[in-house]
């Protein structure tokens, strides 16, 4: 029987140790409806799922997952299960879990350990609960789970065949682990596949970060000055979409090449110091820490809105706001925190500075995650088949997998491609004069 516990938890949670720990199992029907809606819009995963059901490439494999626990992720979970895997999962961010989806997955026999609003301690406790299932393969987003296996469960690193990593920040951390000789198993950097960062980071974050911002605030973007910090794949998408909605966009960058690209794309580029004075809305997407600091906040306008789309909640200096405000007020059902500064200025922080698209919205559009999670499913299959022979390190998604995902996506959209003639192929591969 499940035990309902209060003690030490941020919220009322139903726990069955070794099985699940979620907010409320009775939310399952609503979660099922959310999952089915997502599934109906994920034809690429559906095609993989049909093949997995026949071939069962993950038979006998336990997959431990740390991903934003919401409807699209549930479709990936069910795809892996169709391939024969047993799955234990937790969230990769305390505010992105959809409790309804967690409940629906528990009903399917998935080991789910996650609830929205878990504390930092509970977040790590839930990762440990996933690891207690001794996964053969880890699917991570941000590399917290992979890092934790190495620091807290070193014996388990022997058992893990390999892992996949979903996001830029996670891949950066894994490269650092490998450089220091710490990484003990192969990890496929799903983030670095072309069908991932060109679509997910750019178009997914572009649309969903603004969607989260608008849901949280209900403000108009047209005519506002939006400062986008970081002009990487995510920042490019956010800047373009903000401009499309009529905002004047200023880009803040540290990399001269990215800054030049932003200028040629038609954006203004300025240092944070200067942008701080002009911006109405700030969205960070750097994967770096403290990009908006106290000295910048001091220069900002009354009523300024701060949001973050980077993986961790370290891009905006929340501690400064906490320490220097005179009053802190929850607005918009807790999605916005209003900080009243001593000079009377109001600073609005969205979703505690956590990923605005997931904490204040529903994350990336479904079709985007269809592509990203197809890469995940196929990368897990690669590890199941070939992982034992792979040395520890950070690996690219195999090119044929990247291409196959694009082909499946285009097929689902009914898009046909031109084909090279044999003469064209030969011409393209030849070094001889081009006459």
Q: Which residues contact ligand NAI by CB under 6 A?
A: 167-169, 197, 201, 205, 229-235, 252-255, 258, 285-288, 291, 309-311, 355, 357, 364
Q: Least separation, in Å, of the C-beta of 19 and ligand NAI?
A: 30
Q: Least separation, in Å, of the C-beta of 126 and ligand NAI?
A: 20
Please work out, in degrees rounded to the nearest 5, the angle formed at the alpha carbon of residue 82 by the alpha carbons of 208 and 160.
Answer: 85
Is the CB of 82 or the CB of 358 nearer to ligand NAI?
358
Is the CB of 106 or the CB of 369 nearer to ligand NAI?
369
Residues in the chain: 435
Task: At 303, list the tokens.
Answer: 């009523």
Task: At 283, list the tokens.
Answer: 């969205």
DSSP string, 107-158: HTT-EEB--TT--HHHHHHHHHHHHTT--SEEEESSSHHHHHHHHH-TTHHH
Q: Least separation, in Å, of the C-beta of 316 and ligand NAI?
A: 12
Is the CB of 161 or the CB of 210 nearer to ligand NAI?
210
Is the CB of 138 or the CB of 291 nearer to ligand NAI?
291
Q: Least separation, in Å, of the C-beta of 428 and ligand NAI?
A: 29
Task: At 256, list the tokens.
Answer: 């001269």
Is the CB of 42 or the CB of 291 nearer to ligand NAI?
291
Cβ contact 348:337 at 8 Å: yes
Q: Least separation, in Å, of the C-beta of 331 and ligand NAI?
A: 22
Q: Least separation, in Å, of the C-beta of 135 and ligand NAI?
A: 22
Q: Least separation, in Å, of the C-beta of 147 and ligand NAI?
A: 14
Cβ contact 196:190 at 8 Å: yes
Q: Which residue is nearest to ligand NAI (CB)?
A: 232
Q: Least separation, in Å, of the C-beta of 344 and ligand NAI?
A: 29
Cβ contact 380:137 at 8 Å: yes
Is the CB of 76 or the CB of 81 nearer to ligand NAI?
76
Report the 10 Å Cβ neighbour count for 56.
13
Report the 10 Å Cβ neighbour count for 397.
23
CA-to-CA distance for 222 and 244, rounded, in angstroms? 9
Q: Is 47 exposed, middle or buried (0-12, 13-18, 19+ CB in 10 A)?
A: middle
Is the CB of 282 or the CB of 348 nearer to ligand NAI?
282
Is the CB of 258 or the CB of 340 nearer to ligand NAI?
258
Q: Residue 218: left (phi > 0), alpha (psi -120 to 50), or beta?
A: left
Is the CB of 287 or the CB of 387 nearer to ligand NAI?
287
- What is the 3-state composition of the chain as percent helix, strand, coil, each rounded to the nearest 5? 50, 20, 35
Q: Is 157 exposed, middle or buried (0-12, 13-18, 19+ CB in 10 A)?
A: middle
Q: Least separation, in Å, of the C-beta of 133 and ligand NAI?
A: 26
């Amino acid at each position: 029987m499940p035990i309902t516990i209060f003690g030490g938890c941020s919220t009322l949670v139903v726990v069955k140790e070794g099985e699940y720990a979620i907010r409320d199992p009775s939310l399952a029907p609503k979660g099922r409806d959310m999952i089915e809606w997502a599934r109906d819009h994920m034809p690429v995963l559906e095609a993989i799922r049909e093949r997995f059901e026949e071939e069962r490439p993950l038979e006998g494999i336990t997959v431990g997952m740390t991903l934003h626990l919401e409807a699209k992720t549930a479709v990936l979970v069910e795809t892996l299960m169709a391939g024969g895997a047993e799955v234990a999962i937790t969230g990769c961010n305390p505010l992105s879990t959809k409790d309804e989806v967690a409940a629906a997955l528990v009903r399917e026999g998935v080991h789910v350990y996650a609830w929205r609003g878990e504390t930092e301690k509970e977040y790590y406790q839930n990762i440990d609960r996933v690891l207690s299932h001794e996964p053969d393969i880890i699917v991570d987003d941000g590399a917290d789970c992979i890092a934790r296996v190495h620091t807290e469960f070193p014996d388990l690193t022997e058992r893990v065949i390999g892992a996949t990593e979903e996001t830029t920040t996670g891949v950066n951390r894994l490269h650092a682990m490998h450089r220091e000789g710490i990484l003990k198993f192969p990890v496929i950097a799903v983030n670095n596949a072309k069908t991932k960062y060109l679509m997910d980071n750019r178009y997914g974050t572009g649309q969903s970060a603004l969607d989260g911002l608008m849901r949280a605030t209900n403000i108009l973007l047209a005519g506002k000055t939006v400062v986008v910090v970081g002009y990487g794949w995510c920042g490019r998408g956010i800047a373009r979409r903000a401009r499309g909605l009529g905002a004047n966009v200023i880009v803040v960058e540290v990399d001269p090449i990215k800054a030049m690209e932003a200028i040629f794309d038609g954006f203004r580029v300025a240092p944070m110091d200067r942008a701080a004075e002009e911006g109405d809305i700030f969205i960070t997407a750097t994967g770096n820490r403290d990009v908006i600091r106290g000295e910048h906040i001091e220069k900002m306008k009354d009523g300024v809105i701060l949001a973050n789309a980077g993986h961790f909640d370290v891009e905006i200096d929340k501690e400064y706001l906490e320490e220097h405000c005179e009053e802190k007020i929850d607005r918009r059902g807790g999605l916005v925190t209003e900080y009243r500064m001593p000079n009377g200025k109001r600073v609005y922080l969205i979703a505690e500075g956590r990923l605005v698209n997931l904490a204040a919205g529903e994350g990336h559009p479904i079709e985007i995650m269809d592509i990203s999670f197809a890469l995940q499913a196929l990368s897990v299959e690669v590890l199941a088949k070939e992982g034992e022979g792979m040395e520890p390190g950070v690996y690219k998604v195999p090119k044929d997998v990247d291409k196959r995902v694009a082909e499946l996506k285009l097929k689902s959209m009914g898009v046909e491609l031109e084909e090279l003639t044999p003469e064209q192929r030969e011409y393209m591969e030849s070094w001889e004069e081009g006459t």
